[in-house]
Amino acid sequence: MLPNTGKLAGCTVFITGASRGIGKAIALKAAKDGANIVIAAKTTHAHPKLPGTIYTAAEEIEAVGGKALPCVVDVRDEQQISDAVDKAVKKFGAYTIAKYGMSMCVLGMAEEFKGEIAVNALWPKTAIHTAAMDMLGGSGIESQCRKVDIIADAAYSIFKKPKSFTGNFVIDENILKEEGIKSFDIYAVKPGHPLLPDFFLDEYPEPVTKKIGSQGAVPEVKEGKLQPQPKSSSGPVEETFKIVKASLSDDVVKATQAIYLFELSGEDGGTWFLDLKSKGGNAGYGEPSDRADVVMSMSADDFVKMFSGKLKPTMAFMSGRLKIKGNMALAIKLEKLMNQMSAKL
């Protein structure tokens, strides 16, 4: 287990879903340092199958040395979120760290608040044993899971990093290896038993964005030319690129300043590019004239669906249908451009 250092003493941590499971584990880890914990969750009365409320969590937090503020919050209700933040500021002065539900939005926020607030996403490499997992997986599923402690330790490791560590999609096991953890049996519910990979990751996941420890550096796309592809035949992908190319302008290029490479599998696939750096822009089959800032890998069918607005890039990314290498902030810019073009496709 990752030892506590006391570094979070006096910090205020705003945690959604902190009444049980992963959220509560993170809260307890931070509380052992003497942190102030805002418990933002819906449960005020114990559920017959999901034990724990914001009040029982508050008792546990204060028992290990933290200070707790239980707040009834449904994250779908903007007013409840605002009220909870106001209560946190009134009681603790401010809040310095937050744990919310994760999505591609963290990358946009990381860019927006760069230098002021660090925004990162944390994901487990394996299934994590919680009450919800018992309900979904049934009897015996726990033997294929790790304990919530691994997420708490990984989150604690992120909390200790400087503000320059931002815009990362972090895998729990990877960051703990950087902390010197060598054996992960301590986190297994049943040590030695095969583990169930997390639903949204490959069995052997690679870092999705920046390498752990780069502290703000943008990952590089591998140098060298891709293998040549046979000339594409006319199809939905080519028609999509024709429409995209016709929509390009100096204003779009000036606002984006990026080159995108698409590695598409399946019928009508191959290597395609979208150059939004060169004057006037360019798009088409093959490789760009300059090095790509972002490489996206997906099926040709999903590519067409994304540009036509039938598939959300965020959902494609989180479900593994879209792989991204390179500058994630620029990938976010392309998503905005897709939304603008979808009406024309």
Q: Which residues contact 41 (CB under 8 A, 6 or more apart)?
A: 16, 17, 18, 19, 23, 54, 57, 71, 72, 73
Q: Which of 55, 95, 100, 187 is catalytic?
A: 95
Q: Which residues pair with 146 in a beta bridge?
A: 128, 188
What token pair was written down for 59? 């008792």
Separation in Å, CA 10 to CA 92, 95, 149: 9, 10, 22
Q: Which residues contact 309 (CB under 8 A, 6 or more apart)?
A: 338, 339, 342, 343, 345
187 is catalytic: no
Q: Among residues 151, 150, 126, 129, which one has the least CA distance to residue 140?
A: 129
What is the gyration radius of the CA atoms in the chain, in angstroms? 22
Is the sign of the CA dihedral 185, 187, 190, 194 positive or negative?
Answer: negative
Residue 215 contacts residue 165 (beta carbons within 8 Å): yes
Residue 285 contacts residue 241 (beta carbons within 8 Å): yes
Tokens 């992963």 correspond to what residue?
Answer: 22
Phi, psi of 274 (to 5 degrees): -135, 110
* Residues labelled catalytic: 95
